[in-house]
Each structure stands twice: as C-alpha cells, then as structure tokens.
Amino acid sequence: MGPQLKYLALFSLCISASVSAGPKLYVFDCGSAKLDSLEMFNIKPEESDVRELFVPCYLIRHDDGILFWDGGLPRSVVGSEPSEPTEGPVMRYDRWIIDQLADMGIEPGDITYAAYSHLHFDHSGAANELVENTVLMQQAEWKNAFGEGQEFVDSSLYEGLKQARLKLIDGDYDVFGDGSVRLIYTPGHTPGHQSLLVMLDNTGPVVLSGDLYHTQANRTLRRVPTFNYNAEQTLESMDKLDSVLAETGATLWIEHDKALADTLKKAPAFYD
Ligand SMILES: [Zn+2]
C-alpha cells in the first residue's frame, strides 16, 4: 500500500470511528392497567395515590444489532373496551407492538436479540412473535417457565420460545460485548428476573427496572410485593442494583411508573 492509500485508509478509519455512535433507546406504549389499590405490591392506600401502571416495550439499536426488551401486554388486550365493571385490573393497549415496529420499518426478523425482564403476562405479550432472533434468557427463568400454579403467568404467550434460538445465561450479561448494554441479574420477583443497563452517550446511563420495583413507593419504602417468588432475594437484588446505580451513575426508570412514562418521548423518537 502506497503512502497515499495508507493515509486514505487511516482517514476512513477515523471517519467510521467518529460516526459510530452509542446505543439508541426507544420507548413504546404497550398498554396500561388501572387498579383499585396497590395492596398486591405491599403499598397501603395512604402510602401512594398511584392507581395506574404503564406497560412498556423497548428497543435498543446498537451498531452490532437490535435488542428488543420486554414484550408488553398480550395482543388480546389490543383495542378491547372494558364494558362491564370487572374484577382485577382494567387494561388498555392501543396499538400492537408488532404494528408499532412495522410503522418504523422494523420487522421481527430484523431484531437480533429479544430479552424479557421476566415472563409474567405483562412482559411477554409479544414473545411468540419474536422467535426468529436469539432470545437471551436466564436459566432460572426458563426452568420455571412452564411450571404449574404460577400467578400472572400465561405460558401460551411464550410457547413459541421452545422453537426459538435460546441463549441461556446465568447472571449478568454483556449483550454486545462492549459494556454498553448489560443484563443485570436481579432475581426475586421471579426466579430469573433481570434488569437492563443501557449506556447512553447524551442521556447518560439508564437502568430499566423490570419489576424489581413496580412504583416509586416500592423503591422509597423498600417494599416487596406480596406475590414475589422470593422476598429475601428481592431485597438482595435491590441492594445489588443500588450498587450498579452508584457505580455507573445511572438513572433508574421504573418501567411501570406511569408518571415517569408520561414524561418520556415515545418511538420513533429515541434517547441516545
Ligand atoms: Zn409487570
């Protein structure tokens, strides 16, 4: 290679290094649920006036691929009108996540990885649609996925994962190998619950909570929901995540926090 070519090669290397940006985080509205009380989350009526939980889905674009995180409510909720007063939460879901992705020109096959904080019905709604990619799953969550008698689990929502390319992991996991997108193992809510750390260049690091916390009151009062798989493990995971937040300076986004969600920009807008 002559000196001129060498210079050119070096120059293009610098250009590509400078345009290579950090990850982009997209937030999607994948429904919400109105509740009479937060009793199941171990919060007394006078301790919080929150009565509605947001249900998100997220997409992270990285130079080396796309990660989809948390699958929202089931498709059956989309467009449904609760006509009669019913027991339990009143759910709404305006536009199916797969259609929201299509609006952005993203087909399920374009997604490299899918991961779920856990497999409860409000986090795995789209799981059967996302089986062409590699699914990153904690061993403990998968081991428990088809067990009998679990609350808030509808295994028909993720039956398709049996045919998917599953990458079973055990603990924290660096998704793209450069530290910018990391699964943080935070078990307790379910056996293999995890949270997600995303290092955003301009916004700063953000941690997506999964259901380690459902509301701000759960965080400030350090309250474990009554239906968690393991209360002690949940408290340990809260401590662990606090260390991660302190080390990275990350902001915690409680995924079900509707007041927070109302302030967040939704896809196709993004955080970088
Ligand atoms: Zn949830």
Neighbours of 40 (CB within 10 A): 14
70 touches 117 (CB < 8 A): yes
How would you class 233 by CB atoms within 10 Å of its CB: exposed for 0-12, middle for 13-18, buried for 19 or more? Answer: middle
**188 Cα distance to chain centroid:** 16
**What are the C-alpha distances in Å from 238 to residues 23, 127, 181, 192, 205?**
25, 26, 19, 14, 18
Where along the chain do its domains lie?
22-262
Q: How far is the CA of 52 from the centre of ligand 1 (A)?
A: 12
- Integer Cα distance of 134 and 137 in angstroms: 9
Coil vs helix vs strand at 69: strand
- The pLDDT tens digits along the chain (272 residues) read 455 555 555 545 444 444 568 999 999 999 999 999 999 999 999 999 999 999 999 999 999 999 999 999 999 999 887 656 667 789 999 999 999 999 999 999 999 999 999 999 999 999 999 999 999 999 999 999 998 888 899 999 999 999 999 999 999 999 999 999 999 999 999 999 999 999 999 999 999 999 999 999 999 999 999 999 999 999 999 999 999 999 999 999 999 999 999 999 999 999 99
Which CATH superfamily does the domain covering 22-262 fall into? Ribonuclease Z/Hydroxyacylglutathione hydrolase-like (3.60.15.10)
Give distance in angstroms: CA of 65 to centre of ligand 1: 26
> How far, rounded to the nearest angstrom, does the alpha carbon of residue 201 sit from its chain's CA centroid?
19
Task: State which residues have CB under 5 angstroms from ligand 1, the bound ion.
Answer: 122, 211
CA of 158 to the centre of ligand 1 (A): 15
What is this structure's pTM? 0.91
